[in-house]
Structure 1
Amino acid sequence: MRRPNRKYSVIGAFIGVLSTDSGVLKLLAYSVGRVLYNTQPDDYNPTEHPEHQEAGRHIADWLTAAVANREHWLSNVDELGRPKKLLKFPTMEAIVKEADKAMLRYIQKTREVALRNGDEEMVMTLDDGFHVVRLLTPAALDRESKEMQHCIGNGAYDDRLHDRRFQYLSLRDRNGKAHATLEVEGGRVIQLQGKQNRQPNREYLEAIAPLLRREEYLVQTDRTDLRYVYADDYKVVDAWDLTGCSEVIGDLRRSRAALKMPEKLRVRGEIDLSHCSFPEGFPSEVEADGSISIKECRPFTAPARIVSGGDLTIYDVLMEGDIAHCEAGGSVSFRKTSMDKLPRYLRFHGSLDLGKTGIESLAGLGYVAGSLSLEGARIESLPENIRIGGKLDASSSRLKEYPRTAKIGGDVDISYTQVAFLPPVTVKGKLNISSTKITVVPGGLVTHSLHATGLAMEHFGPKSIRGDLDLAYSSATLPHGLTVGGFLTLDNGSFGNLPDNLRAARIKANSAEVTSIGRGLVVEGNLAISGNPITTLPADMDVWGDIVAGQTLIETLPDGFECAGDLNLTDSCVTALPYGLRVGGSLCLHHNEIAELPENLVVGSDLTITCTDIRSIPECAEIGNRVRSDIPEIDSGWSKYNEVRHWRAQQAAAATMAVSP
């Protein structure tokens, strides 16, 4: 099965949060997913495109309404069951345009929505004739949708009316005209929309502030284009000028903006700033109840004190100054920053990512609850007895010695480092020592899987690897009795004679310097040995899957040779097949010097004989499926043989039925 690539997974995760309905998620995949996959680069990150998040929600609302209203176009599908309408859009903008058109059609249909008692209820009266009502029924949502020209109606949110976690509120003036729509989940306002999904005008935000204050609502939408935010007792302020503020009530999210910041700032939600600049500097003290993410912001002056209730991420910034005090309720990442030393006070409860930083020392760091990443960092050694709950990634760092006193709970990756000595340690996960200076792998090493590619090993001691063993592009002499619970990969390596009693779930040794295979070989899956100088196969080897031995120097197979799966001898030096050859799957004899097939040949599936000297198929041969050949007389003979075989099968079936009671 082909593993999904990174972009496919990222887009799938992005779509997955837009709806909880499996049918709507499929429609989003056919439209939004398809377009993003075809138009975005391989390193696509939805968090860097807030316009896609807003568009995705709008499209999800449209598709939810379409499903609820059973739109006829949903049944006009292609051969894979995909609505053809969704396959025509080349861009996200085109999908949004279609959603807007559909919204206008819905509004026209509901232009005369009549409300009854019980459709709405009063929540709070405000100054200047404003008041807030709660929308209780689908009819109330339809009326709001018609007046505000957004997608709250037409079935998109009807299911949530019965979910106690959600409330739908509308700000009305003295004449009953709607000016803002709120979606409330728990104590959070997750959507605050004006007409046509724009942010409401400032006067309407100020009008509704008493309700937010009374209920202590936090405004936590994921939009990064908002002009206003609530700060300091629900005062409405410009989002790009917070100089007179000390607290933001809700989330602070901005992208590609120049922000004026106060000296000290607390955010009662999350901070998400990307590609921003701070002309008057960044606050010296920052605190957020939720996560903090600061990415690709320049220039950036490091705050002396930063506290995050969730994860803390500072990524790809040229940092001026040092962080003295750092706390996080989750993980901390300073990846790809110019930070050259750890904060004097550092407390966190997850993983720590120092990849591609200028940090040279981890002095004072004794415990990491999650994983520790030092990939591409300047670290040469780890502190004595450091405890790491997850994995250690020190690949491409300046590490010079294996951290033998460290207690590591997961994988260890020291590939592409200067490490030259590997002690007999126990690794609970996967160990990667590829492209290091290690020449001896000790017999006392215990690890689930071992990746040791690109090494010139003088000694390889382990006799048992529970998972995979990857020795591609390496040279080594493997010990007799080696057992590999997973895949053994020897591609393009140099190993001479494979050991006796070797056992693995699968062996892949293409284009490797393997001159012979020892006795007692057991392969629980496929054996691939194409392109190496092997001349014979042992008679006692036991392969449970396919054997691919193309482009080898093998001239003969042992008498009575059996292959449970497919047998591929393409471009091999085999000149004759043994008596009693049995192949459970297909047999491919393309481009070799075989002149005839053995009389009692048994092939469970297809037989391919192209570019050979074979001119006939023995009458007693058993071919399970079909013969592929470039010789006309073989094709003709096979047709007659097939007819006889089918006739005999019919006769046998008839005889069985005749003696049945």
Structure 2
Amino acid sequence: MKFEEDVKLFPEFSQKWAEKRLAKEENKNQYPSPESIRSTRDWLVSLEPGSELYRKLDRVSWADAQKCQEKWHEALARKSAKMTEYGGKPDDVSPVLNLENGWRWVKLNSPESKDYEGNAMGHCVGQGSYDDDGSIIFSLRDKNNIPHITVQFNCERRIVIEIQGKGNTKPTQKYCDDIIKLYKEYDVQDYGKLINLFSYAQRNGEYIIGDNNILSCDKNTVFDYVKLNETSTITEFNYDVSGDLDIEGTQQLKIINGKVGGNLNARKTKLEKIFKDIKGNLDISYTTHFKELAVNVGGSVNGHSSHIENITKDIDGRLDISETKYFKFLDVKVGDNVDASNSNIERITQDIEGSLNISNTENFKSLDVTVGESVDASNSNIERITKDIEGSLNISGTRHLKILDINIGENLNARGSNIEKISKNIIGNLNISETEHFKELDVEVGRNVFATGSKVERITKNIRGNLELSKTKHFKELDATVGGNLDAEKSSIQEIKKDVGGSVNVAKTQNFKLLAVKVGDSVDARYSNLETITQNIPGNLNIDMTKNFKSLDVEVGKNVSARRCNLKTITKKIKGEIDTTQTQLLENYNNKVECQKSKLRM
């Protein structure tokens, strides 16, 4: 009988623990003394819900509990000894509301009482800060007159200005009911401060504040909105919510067994199960205990950096499983985009309505489903793509994809990849910059081609847009029309056989000697070994620092920059300015070309 009575002395959350530990001590003929039991009980009562010891109490032995309670009582003794160091007058108060277990709300009556409160609580109520501002300071005191919560109240406006725990921290959930009682005592109607501190629900315009008050509602209650804060001690939520349910940061809630008519935010929680459908979006990002999603979600699902392993129902909106480590197979339909970047995904079996991101994945080898928009597989270990891509495809940085034999609806980015062959036309841009194994481009490209720093050797089809061949070492001859600009700076190009619709850049080339095709705009040949130009230039011409260009025998539609070069003669009209700084012309051409002397810089 004594054993059962002793167990009842302990707070409810610890009674099962106490029953096991006391039984074990009794079996060892070491049953604790009444003083030890009371001291342990007092320590357990002091534990903050959600604290590490509170959550891991089952692992604590009776012997370890004695060490904890002894340290706690020693800290209390030190605190009591410091009371005289706090200064002020701890007893210069007026009781305003008596609570359970000897706790009470008091009003601070003097500057000295505020000094004590500020020193004991570690905030700025004292030191004259609130002595003459017209507000009332309330303090929540325990049976030993130790303050736990400080409230600043404007009596004239009947509003709470500030609620502070120790060290200006937010009060925890266990103080919620006592604070609400103070609100009611002074008929405070503005709950703005409370809903920023504690869990609350809304129903028909009414606020229900605090875990206990929420759980006291009838089981058939349908809330309009619910927000459980990070200190909530609710472990199972069984109510329907017509709007949003926000439980972000809660550590105690394990199960949601009610319908959610709006969005469910379970980010950074230890939620384990959801049993009813979600009409809006679901956020389970950074969750560590949620393994399977087995309900319908009407909107999008954010499972970023979560421990999700399985999804069994189709998703109407987007799906984010990026940076997940345990999700391997996606076997459901997704109505919008899928982000699986940096994940351990291995297979997708259903078509994707929107875009797909599998960048930086190591285990995804083959894409065998249709993707309605773009695919980002950059820096992945993908080896095969067997279905057409409606949008753009990014395979930059891939090492195992060698041949691409699919249609691509927009752009292809293969920068820095090991791609070797492209067999279908590209509608948009093509980027094969810094590729090592791509030698020949023999498909049509609808826009621009970027081949900077690549080992491409041949292009056999016309380019409608711009062509970038800068820093290429193996490209010698261009036998395709370029509709836009040609950039071959620092390349090994030797010959251009077809007209260029835009500008030509052959700056810093060593082997390009003759420009004999039409150019639609400017020519940049600075620092090159260019010798001859045979077609008029509509735009600017730059032959700075050229050593072998001796005679300019074509018309130039705009400006010519011929600084520090070996140009000797100009025989055709220059419509713009000419800069021949540090260049010694052999012949004065002021009557041979239509160029004002004022525009000639020598």
Q: Post-superposition, which runs of at least 4 consecutive aligned residues in structure 1 deviate over 6 A? A: 177-180, 204-209, 637-644
> Quick one: which of 499, 502, 512 aligns to 1:545?
502
> Quick one: which of 224, 233, 236 aligns to 1:263?
236
Report the alpha carbon displacement of residue 252 of structure 1 after superposing the two structures with TM.
Answer: 4.3
Runs of 5+ consecutive residues of structure 1 not aligned to the other structure = 1-174, 181-200, 210-218, 648-661
Residue pair 1:461, 1:479 contacting (<8 A) in 2 also: no
- Give secondary structure in 1 for the equivalent of 2:570: coil
Distance in 1 of aligned mates of 2:400 and 2:356: 19
Distance in 1 of aligned mates of 2:250 and 2:481: 62
**Paired position in structure 2 for 1:610:** 563
**Residue 236 (1) aligns with residue 220 (2):** no
**Residue 391 (1) aligns with residue 355 (2):** yes
Report the alpha carbon displacement of residue 437 of structure 1 after superposing the two structures with TM.
Answer: 0.6
Distance in 2 of aligned mates of 1:491 and 1:440: 20
Deviations 1:525-558 (A, max 9, x none): 21111122112222xx122212111221234224
Q: How does 1:335-350 map to 2 (within 5 A)?
A: 335-342=304-311, 344=312, 346-350=313-317
Residue pair 1:262, 1:283 contacting (<8 A) in 2 also: yes
Distance in 1 of aligned mates of 2:392 and 2:186: 54
- Give secondary structure in 2 for the equivalent of 1:486: coil
Residue pair 1:242, 1:262 contacting (<8 A) in 2 also: no
Q: How many residues align?
A: 417
**Paired position in structure 2 for 1:380:** 346
> Quick one: which of 312, 323, 326 aligns to 2:282?
312
Report the alpha carbon displacement of residue 324 of structure 1 after superposing the two structures with TM.
Answer: 5.2
**Paired position in structure 2 for 1:534:** 493
**Paired position in structure 2 for 1:571:** 527
- Give secondary structure in 1 for the equivalent of 2:464: strand
**Residue 562 (1) aligns with residue 528 (2):** no
**Residue 369 (1) aligns with residue 340 (2):** no
Distance in 2 of aligned mates of 1:258 and 1:248: 23
Change beyond 3 A, Cα 1:324–1:348: closer
**Paired position in structure 2 for 1:583:** 537
Distance in 1 of aligned mates of 2:549 and 2:362: 59
Change beyond 3 A, Cα 1:224–1:362: farther
Change beyond 3 A, Cα 1:605–1:241: farther
**Paired position in structure 1 for 2:371:** 408
Q: How does 1:431-580 map to 2 (within 5 A)?
A: 431-434=393-396, 435-442=398-405, 445-462=407-424, 464-474=425-435, 475-480=437-442, 482-499=443-460, 501-519=461-479, 521-538=480-497, 541-559=498-516, 561-574=517-530, 576-579=531-534
Q: How does 1:156-171 map to 2 (within 5 A)?
A: none
Report the alpha carbon displacement of residue 202 of structure 1 after superposing the two structures with TM.
Answer: 5.0
Deviations 1:482-533 (A, max 9, x none): 311122111111112332x4323111122123432342x2222211111221
Farther-moved stretch of structure 1 (319-328 vs 369-378): 319-328
**Paired position in structure 2 for 1:32:** none
Residue pair 1:460, 1:477 contacting (<8 A) in 2 also: no
Change beyond 3 A, Cα 1:205–1:411: farther
Residue pair 1:507, 1:528 contacting (<8 A) in 2 also: yes
Distance in 1 of aligned mates of 2:592 and 2:212: 87
> Quick one: which of 382, 385, 391 aligns to 1:429?
391
Report the alpha carbon displacement of residue 350 of structure 1 after superposing the two structures with TM.
Answer: 1.0
Change beyond 3 A, Cα 1:622–1:573: same
Report the alpha carbon displacement of residue 646 of structure 1 after superposing the two structures with TM.
Answer: 9.7
Change beyond 3 A, Cα 1:516–1:487: same
Distance in 2 of aligned mates of 1:532 and 1:586: 21
Structural RMSD (CA)? 4.0
Report the alpha carbon displacement of residue 336 of structure 1 after superposing the two structures with TM.
Answer: 0.9
More strand by share: 1
Q: How does 1:48-447 map to 2 (within 5 A)?
A: 225=196, 229-231=200-202, 235-238=206-209, 244=215, 249-252=223-226, 257-261=230-234, 263-264=236-237, 265-272=239-246, 274=248, 276-278=249-251, 280-285=252-257, 287-295=259-267, 297=268, 300-305=270-275, 307-317=277-287, 319-323=288-292, 325-342=294-311, 344=312, 346-362=313-329, 365-383=331-349, 386-404=350-368, 406-423=369-386, 425-434=387-396, 435-442=398-405, 445-447=407-409
Change beyond 3 A, Cα 1:235–1:523: same
Change beyond 3 A, Cα 1:554–1:623: farther
Change beyond 3 A, Cα 1:251–1:642: farther
Residue pair 1:232, 1:245 contacting (<8 A) in 2 also: no
**Paired position in structure 1 for 2:24:** none
Residue pair 1:571, 1:591 contacting (<8 A) in 2 also: yes
Distance in 2 of aligned mates of 1:630 and 1:514: 35
Report the TM-score, using the length of structure 1 for normalisation.
Answer: 0.55
Distance in 2 of aligned mates of 1:349 and 1:610: 64
Residue pair 2:159, 2:189 contacting (<8 A) in 1 also: no
**Paired position in structure 1 for 2:547:** 593
Residue pair 1:231, 1:245 contacting (<8 A) in 2 also: no
Identity %: 15
Residue pair 1:611, 1:630 contacting (<8 A) in 2 also: yes
Change beyond 3 A, Cα 1:490–1:241: farther
Residue pair 2:158, 2:187 contacting (<8 A) in 1 also: no
Distance in 1 of aligned mates of 2:463 and 2:431: 14
**Paired position in structure 1 for 2:573:** 621
Distance in 2 of aligned mates of 1:204 and 1:604: 88
Deviations 1:93-120 (A, max 9, x none): xxxxxxxxxxxxxxxxxxxxxxxxxxxx
Report the alpha carbon displacement of residue 254 of structure 1 after superposing the two structures with TM.
Answer: 7.2
Change beyond 3 A, Cα 1:368–1:595: closer
Distance in 2 of aligned mates of 1:468 and 1:204: 71
